């Protein structure tokens, strides 16, 4: 006997296809553009959409993406790397304890609004020179909710700072205000210490040995994360959802998924579920995605700098290497996370509608300058080299790479 879907599902499907246009309907149209059917690029029939939609509503565990894609999306919720010689934590969640220089306290005291707080607190980094040369420094800090040993430390980074304002107090173990001159013992307040030092040593002078104090133990490595890398847990989740939706909007996404761990049906079910979730969380506004250069007018994912479509199999490809300079252990893939507006202090930029997928090389070119500044610089370079920037459409969409010239 032919199975009849639940009435509630039939009504909802009918409204999607026959009722007023909606973002949710747009989501289905987007997937139609890139092809719900892995073997066809045409708009699927209502019957096919209907079958996928009702299947997508089943409460079943979705198959995981191919490991490289899954890991790439997961790592977008982490901060960049840091060495043991730095004060930052190495690749931890973006909602970890943030480090705020006192000079940036006013701009960064709250993450998103005056009512918000950092989910795992913050530590204020106070310049020793300012602290020891400012009258009533402790009272000034207290008026702003800052206290050494509670949620703030003196940060020593230069030899001159340590020699003038640190070494003598280190020897006696006490600051002029009576607080102990010691390393913190935790990241949440009260942090239990007043000093954080990363003063590098010099081989030319034995008296200038390195000074590392605080957050340099195996079980307490790194004080926190850079404040501009912060994102709340809800923002991290939304970003991952939007980025996976952008993966499914890449040409060849279904084929790439089923080449590893999924069957075709499982890939279609996961895509349906993710696209619907993105739509429900207002993460699939096509006009906004076009405006930020994450997709093109055909609703295909593109590199925000060069605007070339990103094929899904590029998520699995290692970066091309110049002949004769290859290394066997390279882990960089052709595609990487791309911030549309660069990360900067005072404005949290790791958020939906400011992220996309781009070529690793393009990302390296943009670096921290931002897309607009990079394009202006590239234009000036071309002009100075007497290269006509008014290229034909066919040339601008060439599939050649840097290693093809």
Please give the structure tokens belonging to residue 261: 């761990």
C-alpha 361/C-alpha 327 separation (Å) is 17
CA distance 36 to 31: 6
Q: Along the chain (405 residues), what's the average pLDDT of each consecutive run of 10 residues? A: 46 34 42 39 31 45 89 93 88 96 95 91 97 96 97 96 94 95 96 95 73 92 95 96 97 87 90 96 97 96 95 79 44 82 85 95 86 88 82 48 38
28 vs 36: CA distance, rounded Å:
9
Q: State the Cα–Cα distance between residues 365 and 321, nearest whole angstrom.
A: 16
Q: How far apart are CA 357 and CA 364, in angstroms?
A: 13
Q: Rounded to an integer, what distance in angstroms lies between the CA atom of residue 137 and that of residue 261?
A: 60
Q: Report residue 59: phi and psi, to 5°.
A: -85, 75
**Cα–Cα distance measured from residue 66 to residue 262, given in angstroms and rounded to the nearest whole number:** 8
**Which residue reads 């989740």 in tokens?**
237
Q: How far is the C-alpha of 47 from the C-alpha of 55, rounded, in Å?
A: 12
Q: What is the pLDDT of residue 393?
A: 44
Can you give the pLDDT at residue 386? 84
Q: What is the structure's pLDDT at 202?
A: 74
DSSP β-ladder status, 225-226 and 335-339: unpaired
The pLDDT of residue 206: 62
Give the C-alpha separation, 114 to 117, whole Å.
8
Strand partners, 359: 335
Distance, in Å, from the CA atom of 277 to the CA atom of 284, rounded to the nearest integer, reads 9
Q: Render 343-393 in DSSP notation, one character per residue.
A: PBTTB---STTSEEEEEHHHHHHHTTS-HHHHHHHHHHHHHHTT--S---H
Instruction: Find how far residue 225's CA is from the centre of its chain.
Output: 13
Judged by DSSP in three states, 261 sits in coil
| Helix, strand, coil tally for the chain in percent (to 5) | 40, 15, 50
Structure token digits, residue 362 = 């393009």
pLDDT for residue 45: 32
At which residue do the structure tokens 């949290």 appear?
A: 348
Q: Give the three-class secondary structure for 126.
A: strand
């Amino acid at each position: 006997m032919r199975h009849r879907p639940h009435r509630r599902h039939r009504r909802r499907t009918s409204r999607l296809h026959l009722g007023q246009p909606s973002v949710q309907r747009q989501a289905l149209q987007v997937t139609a553009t890139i092809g719900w059917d892995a073997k066809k690029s045409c708009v699927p029939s209502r019957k096919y959409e209907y079958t996928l939609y009702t299947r997508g509503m089943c409460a079943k565990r979705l198959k995981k993406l191919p490991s490289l894609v899954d890991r790439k999306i997961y790592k977008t919720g982490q901060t960049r790397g840091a060495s043991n010689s730095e004060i930052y934590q190495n690749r931890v969640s973006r909602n970890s304890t943030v480090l705020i220089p006192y000079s940036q306290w006013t701009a960064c005291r709250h993450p998103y609004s005056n009512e918000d707080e950092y989910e795992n607190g913050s530590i204020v980094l106070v310049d020793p020179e300012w602290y020891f040369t400012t009258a009533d420094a402790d009272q000034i800090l207290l008026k702003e909710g800052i206290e050494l040993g509670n949620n703030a430390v003196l940060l020593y980074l230069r030899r001159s700072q340590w020699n003038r304002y640190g070494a003598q107090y280190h020897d006696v173990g006490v600051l002029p205000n009576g607080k102990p001159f010691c390393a913190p013992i935790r990241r949440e307040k009260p942090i239990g210490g007043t000093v954080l030092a990363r003063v590098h040593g010099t081989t030319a002078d034995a008296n200038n040995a390195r000074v590392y104090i605080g957050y340099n133990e195996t079980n307490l490595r790194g004080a926190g994360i850079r404040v501009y890398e912060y994102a709340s847990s809800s923002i991290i989740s939304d970003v991952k959802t939007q980025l996976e939706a952008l993966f499914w909007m890449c040409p060849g996404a279904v084929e790439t998924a089923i080449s590893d761990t999924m069957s075709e049906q499982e890939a279609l079910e996961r895509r349906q579920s993710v696209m619907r979730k993105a739509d429900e969380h207002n993460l699939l506004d096509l006009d906004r995605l076009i405006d930020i250069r994450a997709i093109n007018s055909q609703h295909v994912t593109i590199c925000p700098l060069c605007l070339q479509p990103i094929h899904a199999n590029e998520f699995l490809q290692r970066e091309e290497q110049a002949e004769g300079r290859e290394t066997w252990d390279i882990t960089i893939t052709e595609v990487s996370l791309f911030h549309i507006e660069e990360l900067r202090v005072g404005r949290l930029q790791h958020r939906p509608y400011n992220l996309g997928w781009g070529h690793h090389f393009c990302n390296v070119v943009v670096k921290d300058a931002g897309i607009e500044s990079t394009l202006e610089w590239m234009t000036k370079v071309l002009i100075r080299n007497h290269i006509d920037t008014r290229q034909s459409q066919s040339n601008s969409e060439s599939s050649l790479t840097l290693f093809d010239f």
